[in-house]
A and B are shown apart, each in its own frame.
Chain A
Amino acid sequence: MISLDALRAREVRACARLMRWLDDGLPEARVLLKQLYPHAGKAWLVGITGNPGAGKSTLVDGLIQKFRTRGQTVAVVAVDPSSPFSRGAILGDRIRMQQHALDEGVFIRSFATRGHLGGLASTTADVVHALDAMGWDVILVETVGVGQDEVEIQNLAHTTLVVMAPGMGDEIQAIKAGILEIADVFVVNKADRDGADRTVRELQMMLELGSSVEEPEDGRGHESQARKDFAGPMRRLGPRGWRPRIVKTVGLTGEGLDGLVEAMLEHKKAYQEAMKDVDFKKALLRREFLEIFRRTLLQRGWSYLMHEDHIREIVEELFGGKTDPYTLAEQAVSALGRL
């Protein structure tokens, strides 16, 4: 058993246990999530995404240091991909953060995607909300390296950093991958290498043209958006009028990190300002609910199908050829309400 008190006191064993229950999808974890919910909402959630090897973990390591110096506690959620073949994973982000292993004001946890696409694990949102409720001040979420659709972090983080490095052909790739749209702050890391200034200039140009940068929405008209939200990708919500900052860093030496923190804090302030608006808050609540609703529905549906072998009966019926899968799927969904 895990006690709420232990979690609220940020006892490391209890924290770690709950993370495991969430990761493994134990029903007990959901009970705790409900109890924790009223305590969440105080932490600052920061997403760190960007190409593989761009220096995300190294920057997280440096950021931990900066926030600790400011007297804040830091939790890190580091996500690495699971192998699609063996479903195993090597979780190596922590290597770069080991100098903080003994600091009790720092909690670092590695997760594998376990087949989930989008750059996070399917339970990352729950994990982050739990850490928030436990009272960690800053929660840094490192995603897997960005590809086409790995932009889920934007639905979770208050502030999203997109990290790139010069000389990796990143600049062009990034545009293709569509990650430009999700950046609140661009970090051009490895500024000790040639080409960093060019990358900065290219980013600046793109921002000035404004073509590929979508301004965040502040929640106005959020009610009419409900159907779109559920069907398609979630909308990006953030302070209206925010122009992404561009910061150069050398993760290895910590150069430029103060500037990065400053840019992040500016965004945090703008975000908190936006939060004063009722519509923005409601849009956030709507988005959160829809995501939890979607997962709850899937979980319920799945356990119904596995319960008493319903799936086998369905397959038999289909095999008999007297009905169609559309009708049976509708029937199964109707049956959910009666569980």
Chain B
Amino acid sequence: MTEQRKLRILIAKPGLDGHDRGAKVVARSLRDAGMEVIYTGLHQTPEMIVATAIQEDVDAVGLSIMSGAHNVLMPAVVEGLRQKGGGDIVVFGGGIIPDDDIPRLREQGVHQIFTPGTSTENIVKWIRENIKPR
């Protein structure tokens, strides 16, 4: 077989808010950077995101949250992955997230937070530098 390793990233929208424009923009720019993006649409529970990430054997999960519930939802995904044997899957996030919340989210295992205004180039660059196909 011809070896061909590719980054696989799950972009997910947990919670109740109905804005997925940001998530779609990120998904498209990851695709344009040569990555394979699994996109699962709106209103995903942390359990669904964890199950999907494991089934799809992704290298990373990107969570887009605009509803303000990031302090609950992001750690829930990190913890769920750990419990299901996916503790090596990198979790990053973006959305409307106050600077004050970021240190604690990182402590809880969220690898990186991109606040509004971060260019997609920067997100791609960070992924390339920090995530390798497993």
Contacts and interface: CB of A to CB of B under 8 A. Distances in A.
Interface of A: 12-13, 15-17, 19-20, 22-27, 29-30, 82-83, 85-92, 94-95, 98, 101-102, 107-110, 112, 114, 123, 299, 302-303
Give the top 6 A-B pairs by smallest Cβ distance, nearest first. Answer: A25-B1, A88-B31, A16-B57, A95-B41, A101-B48, A20-B57
A102 to B, nearest CB: 6
Given A87-B34, A98-B44, A13 B6 contact: no
B55 interface: yes
Contacts of A19: 57
Contacts of B54: 12-13, 16
Contact of A20 (B48, B51, B52, B134): B134
Contacts of A95: 39-41
Contacts of A89: 31, 36-37
A90 B37 contact: yes
B32 A83 contact: yes
Interface of B: 1-6, 8, 27-28, 30-41, 44, 47-48, 51-52, 54-57, 84-86, 133-134
Contact of B31 (A27, A83, A94, A98): A83
Contacts of A94: 38-40, 52, 56
Contact of B39 (A30, A92, A107): A92
Contact of A114 (B4, B47, B51, B134): B4
A29 B47 CA distance: 29
Contacts of A110: 38, 56
B36 A88 contact: yes
A30 B37 contact: no
A299 B2 contact: yes
A302 B2 contact: yes
Contacts of A299: 1-2
Contacts of B28: 90
Given A25-B3, A98-B44, A110-B38, A16 B55 contact: yes
Contact of B1 (A20, A30, A83, A102): A30
B34 A12 contact: no
Contact of A16 (B1, B36, B47, B56): B56
Given A24-B6, A86-B33, A101 B51 contact: yes
27 contacts: A15-B55, A16-B54, A16-B55, A17-B57, A19-B57, A20-B8, A24-B6, A25-B1, A88-B32, A88-B35, A89-B36, A89-B37, A90-B28, A90-B31, A90-B39, A91-B36, A92-B39, A94-B38, A95-B39, A95-B40, A98-B40, A98-B41, A98-B52, A101-B47, A101-B52, A108-B52, A114-B6
